[in-house]
């Protein structure tokens, strides 16, 4: 009887010890969470912080705006907004093993720094298969944001006072092609080799007057001419559309035709040619000077894009389809960052460098054929610019 009583007492004491340990652990966990810097912690589930493997994420994203920008190329508020959009619009979901914010952080880190898979494994404490899997999942979710993040084109109004754009009434922006280095199978490398000998894809980019992308069309081989890529883009049923009465600025590599206003060939054009006090001496030169100043927005957009995302500066080992998708994703993220980050260090750094010459409509333009009417439109615009230029100089 005494032995049974001793066993009951012993079991009761052990139970009390376990209960005290559980209570102690609960209070310790509550204190640990409360001690974290919650100033920028969002109230959504994907920012709750209870896993040891998320320590690196706390340091990378939630530590400060500086570390968040250095690692993901965006500030914390923009990061939170992106996570929310990917959940509500892109269909990105948390899993048993990884919450949404860590999935997005891994994806942005790969784009921003273009590190090898084994380096990302060490950074986040995840396996290589997990890194690869979630990169593709987030990539698909980001591409689904096209309707939300691509800029809706807006024409220059008659009463515009912008010195760079006021001459181009009805203009929607500028477009050009850029080459991005990629990896392709050996048997098709010849088609992707551009005139400089690099293996690239020729990407058509269209941007608005403030440098946000309206349309992006990757996938063509590097050997393809810019005009051929544009013709294919406007010929596709769901491709690039230009509404009647509006147009985009293009360089001399494209045809001067309805919807696409090109400079005069054989005349001074690039901005570097107008330095050191040189002035236009004819309507054609004046037009080219104004045209170059406005169309430079697409060169600037491409420059900032490649400076922000290191994955666009060197070829990756993803399949061609994945490479084309992350090019689109980089442009979408570029637009989001341009809208949210007023003080963007990447933009400031790009502008400090002396750069070299760098919507569905009812009646869209479907062909690219020169016409006398469009040539006269450009000629009248050139004469108007030159007369205004001479009048301003004579009044000084």
Distance CA 385, CA 348 (A): 31
pTM equals 0.81
What phi-psi label fits residue 150: left (phi over 0), alpha (psi between -120 and 50 degrees) or beta? Answer: beta
Distance CA 354, CA 350 (A): 8
At 54 the pLDDT is 73
**Most distant CA pair in the chain, distance:** 119
At 164 the pLDDT is 92
At 40 the pLDDT is 46
Distance CA 216, CA 331 (A): 8
At 364 the pLDDT is 61
Enumerate residue ranges in the chain where pLDDT < 50: 31-41, 43, 45-50, 357-362
Q: Which letter, b or e, does each residue of 352-384 get, where b requires 16 or more Cβ atoms within 10 Å of its Cβ?
A: eeeeeeeeeeeeebeebeeeeebeeebeebbee
Give the H or E element holding residue 325: helix 320-340
Q: Which residues contact 76 (CB under 8 A, 6 or more apart)?
A: 40, 61, 62, 65, 68
Distance CA 164, CA 124 (A): 46
At 262 the pLDDT is 94
Distance CA 82, CA 66 (A): 18
Dump pLDDT digits (tens) for 250-299: 998 899 999 999 998 877 666 565 555 567 778 888 888 889 899 999 99
């Amino acid at each position: 009887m005494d032995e049974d009583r001793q066993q009951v007492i012993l079991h009761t004491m052990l139970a009390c010890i376990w209960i005290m340990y559980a209570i102690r652990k609960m209070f310790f966990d509550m204190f640990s969470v409360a001690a974290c810097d919650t100033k920028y912690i969002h109230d959504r589930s994907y920012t709750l912080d209870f896993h040891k493997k998320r320590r690196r994420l706390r340091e990378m994203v939630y530590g400060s705006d500086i570390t968040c920008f250095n690692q993901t190329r965006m500030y914390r508020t923009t990061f939170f907004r992106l996570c929310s959009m990917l959940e509500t619009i892109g269909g990105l979901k948390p899993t048993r093993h990884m919450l949404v914010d860590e999935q997005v952080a891994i994806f942005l880190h790969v784009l921003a720094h273009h590190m090898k898979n084994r380096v990302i494994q060490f950074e986040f404490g995840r396996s290589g298969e997990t890194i690869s899997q979630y990169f593709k999942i987030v990539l698909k979710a980001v591409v689904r944001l096209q309707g939300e993040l691509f800029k809706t084109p807006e024409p220059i109004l008659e009463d515009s006072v912008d010195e760079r754009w006021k001459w181009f009434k009805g203009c929607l922006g500028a477009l050009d092609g850029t080459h991005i280095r990629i990896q392709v199978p050996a048997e098709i490398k010849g088609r992707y080799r551009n005139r400089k000998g690099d293996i690239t894809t020729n990407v058509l980019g269209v941007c608005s007057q403030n440098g946000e992308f309206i349309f992006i069309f990757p996938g063509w081989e590097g050997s393809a001419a810019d005009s051929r890529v544009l013709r294919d883009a406007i010929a596709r049923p769901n491709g690039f559309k230009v509404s009647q009465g509006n147009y985009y600025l293009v360089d001399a590599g494209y045809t001067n035709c309805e919807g696409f206003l090109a400079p005069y060939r054989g005349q001074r054009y690039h901005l570097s040619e107008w330095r050191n006090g040189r002035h236009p001496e004819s309507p054609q030169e004046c037009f080219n000077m104004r045209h170059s100043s406005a169309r430079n927005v697409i060169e600037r957009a491409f420059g900032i894009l490649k400076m922000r995302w290191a994955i666009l500066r060197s070829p990756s080992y993803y399949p061609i389809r994945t490479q084309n998708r992350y090019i689109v994703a980089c442009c979408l993220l570029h637009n989001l960052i341009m809208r949210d980050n007023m003080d963007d260090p990447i933009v400031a750094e790009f502008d400090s460098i002396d750069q070299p010459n760098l919507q569905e409509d009812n009646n869209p333009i479907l062909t690219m054929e020169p016409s006398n009417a469009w040539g006269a439109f450009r000629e009248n615009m050139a004469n108007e610019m030159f007369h205004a230029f001479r009048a301003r100089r004579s009044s000084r």
